[in-house]
Amino acid sequence: MKKSYKIDVDCAACAEKMEVAAKETAGVKDAVVSFMTLKMKVEFEDGADPEAVMKEVYANCKKVEDDCEIYL
Amino acid sequence: MNKKQKTLLWRIIIAAIFFVPLYLISEEFIHIEGFPHWALIVLFLVPYLLVGHDIIRKAFQGIKNGQVFDENFLMTIATIGAIALGEYGEGVAVMLLYQVGELFQSYAVGKSRRNITELMDIRPDYANIEEDGKLVQVDPDEVEVGSIIVIQPGEKIPLDGVVVEGSSSLNTSALTGESLPRKVEEGSEVFSGSINMSGVLKVRTTTEFDESTASKILDLVENAASRKSKSENFISKFARYYTPIVCVAALVLAIVPPLVILLTSGVGTGHHALWHVWKDWILKACTFLVISCPCAVVISIPLSFFAGLGGASNQGILIKGSNYLETMSQVKTIAFDKTGTITKGNFAVTTVHKSPIDEKKLLEYAAHAEAHSSHPIARSVREAYGKYIDMNRVADLEEISGHGIVAKVDGIAVAVGNDKLMDKLGIEHEECEHVGTVLHVALDNVYSGHIVIEDEIKPNAKEAMVALKAAGVEKLVMLTGDAENVAKSVAAEVGLTDYRAQLLPADKVSCVEELLKECTGNKRLAFVGDGINDAPVLSRADIGIAMGALGSDAAIEAADVVLMDDDPKKIAKAIKISRKCINIVKQNIVFALGVKVVCLILAALGIANMWVAIIADVGVMILAVLNAIRCLFVKNL
């Protein structure tokens, strides 16, 4: 399953960090962050609960870049 | 400017007001007898921390998370190093100017982001529904299929549908890039995202909001940015390795040369001289770090692609990702589908030839045999017949792909199709001296003449081919299921370099594969079709371009590049846009890295100091961003 989320972040490098953090989260198959459109596209593993996974993604993103926001 | 940017701006201004006079008179302070040195450091730390505290915090956060090497780290180490060595002014100035660069970058990106979304402002806000004689505004999401909506002059059409009452002209420029208004009346199809200009329209909706043209286009454009190009991926990988390498190089620079100097020449055995040499090289290393900050490249490349995609979509050219923008710029061979691409696809029966029976009777049989076919040729035959088609008269109908149709009409075996069908049935047929699509008709296996159908060549087709050749496309090949003579005359008239005629739908794929083999090196092949029957070919080519996609979901799904209207000149334009974009990306990479390399060498040689370093860094970034924004201006290409 794929879902798209609106995000807020200040720089391209920070967006890159968020992408890496999201990809490494359990339950996430793939993630792409576009700094230009301020969107995060997440593809979930089969059977993963998007809501729970996204909470983890959010926490992991905050860890690497506390100046970021994901609108869940 | 948003709140964050405003805060940063104020921090920069206040820090600058504090810093500049301090810097100018600091030289005097040092000479004042008894002025404590630590007080000077404290004074400099005020603007330093005011403007740079978030950078320092982020650098430490990075270290904590194991992602040590980023530009925050580079800047923090370089400035703290400078201050620790007593170069207070330089340390603060670097941080201050770095933040000026960051502010500019954030502002420019935000601004172009807004510009681009404005260009694609097709999202409807509301739909008018009539309730008890009054118009009520509702969310387009809530309107069910088949509802009647009212669109007043000046309003955006919220959902796709068919006009049931009223006539007007529509501005579709946000969808197609076409500035001429489109006339609509009762029965016309209208697409969401276009703007009603003159009359009140009542429309019966045919889609839900999520399935409407406007939503689909917005979705496509938003997703485009997540398909990253090779250069974008290259840059993010590059930044991952580059920063650590630079840090190590700086460390080496700070340790090795002074050691070598000390050991070989034995300059000054005194502490003072030793410290002097060492300080000199550590400062060089700090300068090195400042110069090597990769932000100019990191920001300008995605910005260029995004601006290019935005500018193109404003012209009615939807490109599904920056990777396609890259491929598009290397297209040297284009294969065209004939119908709907080079020709208009509105066929008309021009004559009926060599018919032993009455022409009208022949048309009648043909029209009945073709009753169910959605092929444009079948439609034209039915139109030429022009009377009611009684399906009870038709039996055993069979469509043979790429050949034609056989059926029984009034008990007579009717075969309608091309040369191949006649050969297959073993019926001798006559050649036609007319150029056009020839539809042979056989009744009870006896040849009974042929119907000549002609298709109009698009008025822009010839110009489009000239433009493509001027844009450096080497081969223009037309693929068609039509007869040799038709293909030849169309190819000659339009100015194609080659054609392949009498192809079955499956042959088109193998033709494209053959052409792909001829594309060596960096040459790429594009296939242009109307997206209706050519999905396999569209996906087989390096890049699939669908034309006239407004209202055709199949085309939007199958292609990599979608031309909303059916103007063939847009193909050349799409190529030019992609070239411009890629050129700007290349310019930025070469320019930014070139300046950095030169400055790094100068710094290592001791010619460039920290001032030069930071001005080069911020200056390159500003120029690269401004250059990237040029991608947006593609209207006159």
Domains and CATH numbers, chain B: 127-158+160-206 (2.70.150.10), 304-343+457-578 (3.40.50.1000), 348-454 (3.40.1110.10)
B106–A10 CB contact, under 8 Å = yes
Strands B561-563 and B543-546: parallel
DSSP classification of residue B245: H
Mean pLDDT of B419-444: 82
pTM: 0.81
Instruction: For chain B, say whether A38 makes contact (Cβ under 8 Å).
Output: yes
Q: Cα separations (Å) of B64 from A1, B73, B526, B534?
A: 33, 12, 49, 54
- B410 φψ region: left (φ > 0), alpha (ψ -120 to 50), beta (else): left
Q: Vertex B291, ends B290 and B296: CA angle to 5°?
A: 105
State the Cα–Cα distance between residues B553 and B570, nearest whole angstrom. Answer: 19
CB of B140 within 8 A of CB of B120? no
Is residue B175 very low, low, confident or very high in pLDDT (cuts 50, 70, 90)?
A: confident
Residue with tokens 């490249």: B297
Instruction: Choose, out of B5, B99, B223, B237, the residue to mutate when testing the contact with A (most A CBs < 10 Å).
Output: B223
pLDDT at residue B496, rounded to an integer:
92
Least confident of B203-207, B271-275, B616-620: B271-275
Evaluate if residue B565 carries a pLDDT over 60. yes
Is residue B10 very low, low, confident or very high in pLDDT (cuts 50, 70, 90)?
A: very high
Please tell me which of the candidates A35, A37, A64 has its beta carbon nearest to residue B65. Answer: A64
Mean pLDDT of B319-329: 91
Instruction: Give residues 65 to 84 of B whose Cβ lies within 8 Å of A.
Output: 65, 67, 70-71
Instruction: For chain A, say whether B226 makes contact (Cβ under 8 Å).
Output: yes
Instruction: For chain B, say whether A17 makes contact (Cβ under 8 Å).
Output: yes
Evaluate if residue B524 carries a pLDDT over 60. yes
Question: B206-222 pLDDT, tens per residue?
Answer: 988 888 888 888 877 77
Is residue B260 very low, low, confident or very high in pLDDT (cuts 50, 70, 90)?
A: confident
Q: Cα separations (Å) of B451 from A23, B246, B416, B616?
A: 62, 75, 9, 73
Mean pLDDT of B465-488: 89
Q: How far is B122 from chain A (nearest CA, A)?
A: 16
Is residue B269 very low, low, confident or very high in pLDDT (cuts 50, 70, 90)?
A: low
pLDDT at residue A25, rounded to an integer:
92
Within 8 A of A38 by CB-CB distance, chain B residues are 113
| Tokens at B69, concatenated | 């090497």
Evaluate if residue B484 carries a pLDDT over 90. no
CB of B296 within 8 A of CB of B201? no
Q: Vertex B73, ends B70 and B76: CA angle to 5°?
A: 150
Residue with tokens 């009926």: B352
Overall number of domains in chain A: 1
Q: What is the residue-averaged pLDDT of chain A?
A: 88
Q: What is the residue-averaged pLDDT of chain B?
A: 86
pLDDT at residue B14, rounded to an integer:
94
Q: How far is B217 from chain A (nearest CA, A)?
A: 15
Q: How far is A59 from chain B (nearest CA, A)?
A: 13
A36–B4 CB contact, under 8 Å = no
pLDDT at residue B242, rounded to an integer:
82
Instruction: Give residues 107 to 136 of B whose Cβ lies within 8 Å of A.
Output: 109, 113
State the Cα–Cα distance between residues B537 and B523, nearest whole angstrom. Answer: 18
| Tokens at B293, concatenated | 């900050």
Please tell me which of the candidates B67, B225, B303 has its beta carbon nearest to residue A17. Answer: B67
Least confident of B340-344, B549-553, B554-558, B575-579: B549-553
Residue with tokens 């396999």: B536
Highest mean pLDDT among A12-16, A30-34, B229-233, B257-261: A30-34
Instruction: For chain A, say whether B232 makes contact (Cβ under 8 Å).
Output: no
Instruction: Choose, out of A3, A17, A34, the residue to mutate when testing the contact with B (most B CBs < 10 Å).
Output: A34
| CATH code (residue A47) | 3.30.70.100
State the Cα–Cα distance between residues B432 and B438, nearest whole angstrom. Answer: 7
A13–B61 CB contact, under 8 Å = no
Least confident of B160-174, B295-309, B344-358, B568-582: B344-358
A35–B295 CB contact, under 8 Å = no
Q: Which of B160, B337, B534, B560 is catalytic?
A: B337
Q: Cα separations (Å) of B420 from B154, B355, B365, B367, B402?
A: 54, 19, 20, 20, 8
Expressed as residue numbers, the domain containing A38 is 2-71
Q: What is the DSSP string of B490-522?
A: HHHHHT-SEEE-S--HHHHHHHHHHHHHH--TT
Mean pLDDT of B55-84: 87
Mean pLDDT of B356-378: 82
Strands B201-205 and B148-151: antiparallel
Q: Is the ipTM of this complex over 0.90?
A: no
State the Cα–Cα distance between residues B631 and B608, nearest whole angstrom. Answer: 33
Instruction: For chain B, say whether A6 makes contact (Cβ under 8 Å).
Output: no
B306–A4 CB contact, under 8 Å = no
B226–A39 CB contact, under 8 Å = yes
End-to-end CA distance of chain B: 31
State the Cα–Cα distance between residues B255 and B246, nearest whole angstrom. Answer: 14
Instruction: For chain B, say whether A59 makes contact (Cβ under 8 Å).
Output: no
Q: How far is B308 from chain A (nearest CA, A)?
A: 12
Residue B337 among the catalytic residues: yes
Of B110, B289, B234, B247, nearest in space to B588 by CA: B234
Nearest residue in B to A32, CA atom: B226
Mean pLDDT of A39-65: 89
pLDDT at residue B586, rounded to an integer:
93
Evaluate if residue B268 carries a pLDDT over 70. no
Of B621, B604, B339, B291, nearest in space to B480 by CA: B339
B109–A41 CB contact, under 8 Å = no
Instruction: Choose, out of B107, B222, B232, B588, the residue to mutate when testing the contact with A (most A CBs < 10 Å).
Output: B222
| Tokens at A3, concatenated | 């879902």
Instruction: For chain A, say whether B236 makes contact (Cβ under 8 Å).
Output: yes
Cα R_g (chain A), whole angstroms: 11
Q: How far is A16 from chain B (nearest CA, A)?
A: 8
CB of B349 within 8 A of CB of B381? yes
pLDDT at residue B587, rounded to an integer:
93
Please tell me which of the candidates A11, A12, A39 has its beta carbon nearest to residue B222. Answer: A39
Instruction: For chain B, say whether A67 makes contact (Cβ under 8 Å).
Output: yes
Nearest residue in A to B299, CA atom: A12
Q: Where are the alpha helices (DSSP H) in B414-460?
A: 419-425
Question: B107-130 pLDDT, tens per residue?
Answer: 888 888 888 777 777 788 889 998
Count of other CB atoms within 10 angstroms of residue B245 = 11
Count of other CB atoms within 10 angstroms of residue B423 = 12
Residue with tokens 């194991």: B66
Evaluate if residue B483 carries a pLDDT over 90. no
CA torsion B290→B293→B295→B297, rounded to 10°?
120
